Amino acid sequence: MAAPATYVIVFTPESWRQFKEAGARTAGFPESSSVRARKLAPGDTLLCYLVNGGGWVATLNVVGRAYLATEPPIWTGGVFPVRIPVETLVELPLQDAVPATELLDRLPRLWRANLKAPGGWAGYIRGTPWMCSPNLAPPGTVVLT
């Protein structure tokens, strides 16, 4: 069995609110991300980034395998039929979100992209889920605190 991996996933403020209103138990991805999403396995960690200046807002734990579903509807901005069962490990109030740049030193690929061009890290996280490291932190370690 592979060691747990850490992935980055992205939410808009609206999709984050809808995720939480639906019980914060299901992460969703567009069909175009199905190959990457199907690699997620129980025990993997998802670092949640809120776009538009929101920052890092949560760490989720993957608790099941990807499946296809359009019901129940969760998000109004898209169907996101590739779904993953999750549980919240850490959630920060939006006003306390960790600015994106504060975790760059723990995410080497993003850090290198930022060295080449300030803000260049943002392009890497758009195609989520994005594996940032197979072992960013030891299993059970919370990355956002």
pLDDT of residue 126: 62
Q: Is residue 114 part of a domain?
A: no
pLDDT of residue 124: 59
pLDDT value at 145 more than 60? no
Q: Is residue 83 part of a domain?
A: yes
pLDDT value at 56 more than 70? yes
Q: Is residue 19 part of a domain?
A: yes
pLDDT of residue 4: 85
pLDDT of residue 128: 67
Q: What is the pTM of this model?
A: 0.80
Q: What are phi and psi of 59, to 5 degrees?
A: -125, 125
Mean pLDDT score, 51-62: 87
Q: Is residue 112 part of a domain?
A: no
CATH number at residue 42: 3.10.590.10
pLDDT tens column, 97-133: 888 777 666 666 665 665 666 665 566 566 667 677 5
pLDDT of residue 130: 65
Domains of the chain: total: 1
Q: Is residue 119 part of a domain?
A: no
pLDDT of residue 140: 38
Q: Is residue 139 part of a domain?
A: no
Q: Which residues contact 115 (CB under 8 A, 6 or more apart)?
A: none
- Ranges of beta strands (E only) in the chain are 6-11, 26-29, 45-50, 55-62, 67-68, 82-91, 130-133
pLDDT tens column, 58-93: 999 999 999 999 999 999 988 899 999 999 999 999
* Domain carrying residue 39: 6-97+127-132
Which residues face 90 on adjacent strands?
A: 59
Q: Is residue 118 part of a domain?
A: no
pLDDT of residue 63: 98
> What is the total residue count of the chain?
145
Pairing label, strands 67-68, 45-50: unpaired
